[in-house]
Amino acid sequence: MNYEKLLSDVSEGQERLSVQESVELFLHADLNSLGQAANRMRQRLNGDEVVTYLVDRNINYTNVCVTDCKFCEFYRPLGHKESYVISETELFKKVEETVALGGTRILLQGGHHPELRLDFYVNMLKNLKTRFPQVELNAFSPPEIDHIAQVEGTSCLQVLESLKTAGLDGLPGGGGEILDDEIRERVSPKKLMSTGWLSCMSDAHSLGLLTSASQVIGFGEEPTHRFNALQGIRDTQDKSMAAYGRGFLSFVMWPLQFESRYGEVFGNKKGVKLGAEREEYLRHSALSRLFLDSVPHIGASWPTMGPVIAAEALMFGADDFGSTMIEENVVSSAGSTYDCMTEEAIRAHIGDAGFRPQKRDSAYQAVS
């Protein structure tokens, strides 16, 4: 395989990567060559000057969950002394703090609570939109939507329709991990499988909701699993763009944070390498940009890799630095040591990397 010609053709939009070609490049191509090709595609799609970022807050409305994902340190079973469902008073206070800091978006995500009905989610969104009409509400995830649909005995589409009417602006790409069922059966067997995740996102596209896709690497999977998952995302993107003229706005990837029972049960006992270090992260970041040629934006993950390596990723295909994450609980529970950042710090990291920082909203439109 002529790696340089393949990378040139792909970066210029003349060819699409296959799963097998991506595996070959991941295993054997020169890291700098991958970065240069991904950067060429980034420049072609998004220009070479601006890197965007978002000011938002991730509010976890409950930590009660029945899914028992092996890698999650955040959730608690129903009735546990540390379990909670957020009160409206506390929720409003968190949003008020976010607005005061210049935040434009709220992420609402939680566990799969077996006793919360659709009315709970509808009322939460309605009340937030009434009190804070200027704030974007990107909430839940495909597995959460599927769980609500199961509790209600209805479909994901019907749940999404009700939530959109109540004020939902976007459906984040959480709960994706790796969209390959061999891996999902291993690490989150009770959670929505790959076809269901992608189908739920297709429903969201049909309704005009803003969406993103994501991937967590480092569960002990092979590169083929990772690119099979990207193939599913790309195929869904192609179908949604053809049918609705819209699809995923962005993709972000990060390594598993494994200071958890998952590391003990799966990694240490079986000798499996978990997570990913700098080179592997940058290598996969570049190939994600090259493979997902129809997804407009690629995000860097400073909460898991730190701001220095995230800034490097801006030369490996990423054009977005993510958000300030005024509050984050799930990744930090699993062992991430990077605190939330101020807007000033994000702008400084982007500037130091040689780019012009631009604050954005969830639709990637510039805001002052």
Mean pLDDT calculated for residue range 64-92:
89
**pLDDT tens, position by position, 24-73:** 999 999 999 999 999 999 999 999 899 999 999 999 999 999 988 877 87
Judge whether 248 and 211 are in contact, CB under 8 Å: yes
Average pLDDT of the chain is 92
Which residue type sits at 209?
Answer: L
Residue 194's closest CA among 232, 155, 141, 248? 232
Distance CA 25, CA 23 (A): 5
Domain boundaries, the chain: 29-359
pLDDT at 239 (0 to 100): 98
pLDDT in tens, 93-151: 999 999 998 999 999 999 999 999 999 999 999 999 999 999 999 999 999 999 999 99
HEC string for the chain: CCHHHHHHHHHCCCCCCCHHHHHHHHHHCCHHHHHHHHHHHHHHHHCCCEEEEECEEEEECECECCCCCCCCCCCECCCCCCCCECCHHHHHHHHHHHHHCCCCEEEEECCCCCCCCHHHHHHHHHHHHHHCCCCEEEECCHHHHHHHHHHHCCCHHHHHHHHHHHCCCEECCCCCCCCCHHHHHHHCCCCCCHHHHHHHHHHHHHCCCEEEEEEEECCCCCHHHHHHHHHHHHHHHHHHHHHHCCCEEEEEEEECCCCCHHHHHHHHHHCCCCCCCHHHHHHHHHHHHHHCCCCCEEECCHHHHCHHHHHHHCCCCCCEEEECCCCCCHHHHCCCCCCCCCHHHHHHHHHHCCCEEEEECCCCCECC
What is the per-residue pLDDT across 217-266, written as a single tens digit (0 to 9) for each? Answer: 999 999 999 999 999 999 999 999 999 999 999 999 999 976 555 555 45
- Average pLDDT of the segment spanning 298-309: 94
pLDDT, average across residues 317-322? 97
Q: Per CATH, the architecture of 29-359 is what?
A: Alpha-Beta Barrel (3.20)
pLDDT at res. 340: 76
339 has a pLDDT exceeding 70: no
pLDDT recorded at residue 264: 54
CA nearest neighbour of 275 among 314, 301, 295, 251:
301
